[in-house]
């Protein structure tokens, strides 16, 4: 899973940087999500592999402190990116004709600056509140659409982001509440498994889900692979 997470997220980052057609706010946020996923899984999994493969079970206090810093910092950043992606979907669905006017690079920069202040106050609760409000407005806008095809397209647009939210928040909430209320009834091995799922599942599944559900990314991958095959066949000839 770690190899899939690294290859998938690096592939998404390369694709977004390489393709000019993907230089849009939605894909900027997706690149930020891939970057945070890479840091989160890379801050813990290599050490875990050393423990399992080479039995190097010791870790210094400084190394542990650095590891905790990266985990907590980038977990908070991932929550913020998911919140920004929810706002992006809200603008895209509720104001499709004004999307490119509303979400400019300057607006994104201002939103990031404002969010930086909010992070210090209410990071998790604020993100979840914004996501909930965004999707409430999205559902209201989708239900009011008269065309079934338009409703299907709108729901399809939000599917990948909804999966990313579920993958990110479900293990985190389970771990949080199980530690607070089920510390004596839930075995430690279960906590370890959930922690590993939380650190590996989102980085592994996000590139897969977004690659499958986003047509622009699928088209870019097919175009790059087709060009690679043509170049290879030309070299053989």
Number of domains in the chain: 1
Q: What pLDDT, on a 0 to 100 scale, did the predictor assign at position 235?
A: 59
pLDDT of amino acid 27: 83
Q: Residue 151 has what pLDDT?
A: 79
Please compute the mean of the pLDDT values over residues 199-222 and round it to a whole number: 76
68 belongs to a structural domain: yes
* CA separation for the pair 102, 104 (Å, rounded): 6
Q: What is the pLDDT of residues 23-74, one digit of tens each?
A: 887 888 888 888 888 888 888 888 777 877 877 777 777 888 888 888 877 8
How far is 163 from 201, CA to CA, in rounded Å?
11
Highest mean pLDDT among 38-42, 76-80, 122-126, 196-200: 38-42
Percent above pLDDT 70 for the chain? 85
Q: What is the mean pLDDT of residues 194-214?
A: 75
pLDDT value at residue 21: 79
Assign residue 64 the CATH number of its domain.
1.20.1070.10
Parent domain of 154: 2-227
How many whole angstroms separate alpha carbon 201 and alpha carbon 205? Answer: 6
Do the domain assignments include residue 66? yes
Name every residue whose Cβ is closer than 8 Å to that of residue 50 and which is 6 or more positions away in sequence: 56
Is residue 232 a part of any domain in this protein? no
DSSP state of 185: T
**Between 190 and 13, residue with greater pLDDT:** 13
- Checking if the pLDDT of 133 tops 80, the result is yes
Examine residue 233 and state whether it is found in any structural domain, yes or no. no
Query: CB count, 10 Å around CB of 57?
Result: 9
Task: Read off the pLDDT of each residue in 153-170 and give the average, rounded to a whole number.
Answer: 76
CA proximity to 83, closest of 118, 35, 107: 118
Inside any domain, residue 172: yes
Which among 8-12, 130-134, 210-214 has the top mean pLDDT?
A: 8-12
């Amino acid at each position: 899973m770690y190899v899939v997470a690294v290859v998938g997220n690096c592939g998404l980052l390369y694709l977004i940087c390489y393709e000019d057609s993907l230089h849009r706010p939605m894909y900027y946020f997706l690149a930020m999500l891939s970057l945070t996923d890479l840091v989160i899984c890379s801050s813990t999994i290599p050490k875990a592999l050393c423990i399992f493969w080479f039995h190097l079970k010791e870790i210094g206090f400084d190394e542990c402190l650095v590891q905790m810093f990266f985990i907590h910092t980038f977990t908070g950043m991932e929550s913020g990116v998911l919140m920004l992606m929810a706002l992006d979907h809200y603008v895209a669905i509720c104001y499709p004709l004004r999307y490119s006017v509303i979400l400019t690079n300057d607006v994104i920069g201002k939103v990031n600056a404002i969010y930086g202040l909010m992070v210090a106050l209410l990071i998790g609760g604020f993100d979840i509140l914004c996501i909930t409000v965004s999707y409430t407005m999205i559902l209201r806008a989708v239900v009011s659409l008269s065309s079934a095809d338009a409703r299907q397209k709108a729901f399809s647009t939000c599917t990948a982001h909804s999966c990313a939210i579920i993958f990110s928040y479900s293990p985190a909430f389970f771990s949080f509440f199980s530690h607070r209320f089920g510390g004596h009834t839930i075995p430690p091995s279960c906590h370890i498994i959930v922690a590993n799922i939380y650190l590996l599942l989102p980085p592994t599944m996000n590139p897969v889900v977004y690659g499958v559900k986003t047509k622009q990314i699928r088209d870019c991958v097919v175009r790059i692979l087709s060009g690679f095959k043509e170049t290879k066949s030309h070299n053989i000839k």
